[in-house]
Amino acid sequence: MNTTNNALTEAVYYILLALTEPLHGYGIMQRTAALSGGRLVISAGTLYGALSTLLEKGWIEQSEPACAGRKKTYRLTPTGRAVLEAELERLRELVRNGERILFEETR
């Protein structure tokens, strides 16, 4: 699977980042808010739409519940981790280029 040139939305980036450990939906919402310093608050509708898409892409998977009736838990797949790592490198490049243009070339 091609994991490059996949510019992620901020919500998807934080959802994937949150799922480096298994979490249920509400836990994902809490962790994304914490990781973003409260700046990004994901609604349930946005979250479950994104989870559906991420499951289809194979970037996350549903964990088996410990017992019947438990909440669905999700986790990052190896492909999802590769996508997240590629996005992190893309973001680093954006910052490097911005710093080069704004700070180094103005001296």
User: What are the C-alpha distances in Å from 98 to residues 14, 90, 107?
Assistant: 22, 12, 14
Structure confidence at residue 93 as a pLDDT band (50, 70, 90): very high
Query: Which pLDDT score, from 0 to 100, does residue 63 have?
Result: 87
CA 107 to chain centre: 37
**10-104 has which CATH code?**
1.10.10.10
Residues 80 and 60 sit within 8 Å (Cβ to Cβ): yes
* Predicted confidence (pLDDT) per residue in 43-90, tens digit: 999 999 999 999 999 999 998 765 666 789 999 999 999 999 999 999
User: What are the C-alpha distances in Å from 8 to residues 17, 35, 63?
Assistant: 12, 16, 23
Residues 8 and 16 sit within 8 Å (Cβ to Cβ): yes
* Predicted confidence (pLDDT) per residue in 3-43, tens digit: 555 799 999 999 999 999 999 999 999 999 999 999 999 99
